Amino acid sequence: MQAQSLQQDRSVGKLEVVHLFGSGPIPTGVTVSRQGRIFLNFPHWGDNVEATVVELKGDRLIPYPAELPQSGSADPAHRLLSVQSVVVDQKNRLWLLDTGRIEGALAPTGGAKLVGVDLSTDKVFRTILLPADVAPANSYMNDVRFDYTRGTDGIAYLTDSSEFSHGLIAVDLATGRSWKRLTHDPSTAADPSMQAVIEGEPVLATGPDGRLLRPRDASDGIALSGDHRWIYYCPLFSRHLYRVEAGALANPSLNDETVVKTVEDLGEKGMSDGMESDAEGRVYYGDLENNSVRRRLPDGGVELLAHDPRILWADTFSLAHDGYLYFTANQLERLPRFHGGRDERVYPYVLFRIKVDGTPTQ
């Protein structure tokens, strides 16, 4: 029989490698300022984390900001413990979302917080502590977006991805007051019927009794629609996309039952971690089970932006003013928690970018 070349899975999109992480801890978040400054974060998940937030300068990772300690025994309210997300807002200010949780330990008082940094001075201008009734010790603050069309100084919207306290949080940036909605709502919870399959293997975690369980990581990705009407969000272990009216979530006088009435299930989109939006009304997200990056259109249609075997867990997205969509690929599915304690990760992790025609949401 004459030898023939067999067909293979085709790659789609032109991925550009921005940075290779040849050693060190797993990166999750990335954000890019108007001036092109790139910031990254590394949560404390068991790796040796020398700095939980850094600025990428050339090939160097510089701890940032210089004034905040990122180790030691200082008051948790005045140091960075384990930052899960970094976001440059519409005012070109950097915000750091600190979970307060190191290697699974409960968050201490003052651990869970939002920290704002003025990029023109590289100085902290605001620290907002999240109270225990909003962010209990077993919560996990995951991602954040900012809305400057509401409130006297804007509203921040956060996801809590903890199995035990999942929900959405709104923070009044003028007063620092915060409130939580959709707590334990099915739309913010993991889908108990879903079995994630990545790289051909079921994603399972080892329970306290040694049994393999489906992970229950909940509300994770979040994005503000281009017209500021909707907050899009998704639980990590779910394939559904949801949205809630931003005005309802931002109104502290509305109770949970009223906010829930504005929630819409937009159907399946695949399993995703972080999300991003543009001013044109589109939502960007990864498809973790298919090594892909997709974009949801205002009419509900979906575009495939990239498909590549190198996209091993597209974690966080940042749409920059240079016309690129940046995202980390960090092999999270290979963590020891999903492989009976064996670490299946192989360096390097990657910071990718891909050219798009979207404008950052203002």
Residues 135-192 have pLDDT tens digits of 999 999 999 999 999 999 999 999 999 999 999 999 999 999 999 999 999 999 999 9
Helices (H), the chain: 246-249, 256-260
Tallying the residues shown for the chain, one arrives at 362
Please provide the average confidence, as pLDDT, over all residues in the chain: 96
DSSP letter for each residue of 80-140: ---EEEEEE-TTSEEEEEE---STTPPPPTTTSEEEEEETTTTEEEEEEEPPTTTS-TT--
CB 246 within 8 A of CB 224: yes
DSSP 25: S
> Within its chain, how far is the Cα of 18 from the centroid?
19
Q: pLDDT at position 290, please? A: 98
What residues contact residue 134 under an 8 Å CB cut-off, 6+ apart? 169, 178, 179, 180
> Within its chain, how far is the Cα of 96 from the centroid?
12
Cis peptide before 65 (omega within 30 of 0): yes
User: Is the entire prediction scored with pTM above 0.95?
Assistant: yes
Cis peptide before 348 (omega within 30 of 0): yes
CB 124 within 8 A of CB 210: no
Q: pLDDT at position 4, please? A: 80
CB 335 within 8 A of CB 322: no
The CA distance from 282 to 298, in Å, is: 6
The CA distance from 207 to 213, in Å, is: 6
Q: pLDDT at position 220, please? A: 98
What residues contact residue 264 under an 8 Å CB cut-off, 6+ apart? 242, 243, 244
User: 16-355: what fold?
Assistant: Neuraminidase (2.120.10)
Question: How would you class 205 by CB atoms within 10 Å of its CB: exposed for 0-12, middle for 13-18, buried for 19 or more?
Answer: middle
| Regions of the chain short of the pLDDT cut 50 | none
The CA distance from 88 to 320, in Å, is: 10
Q: pLDDT at position 111, please? A: 97
Q: pLDDT at position 1, please? A: 58
Main-chain dihedrals φ then ψ at residue 314, nearest 5 degrees: -70, 110
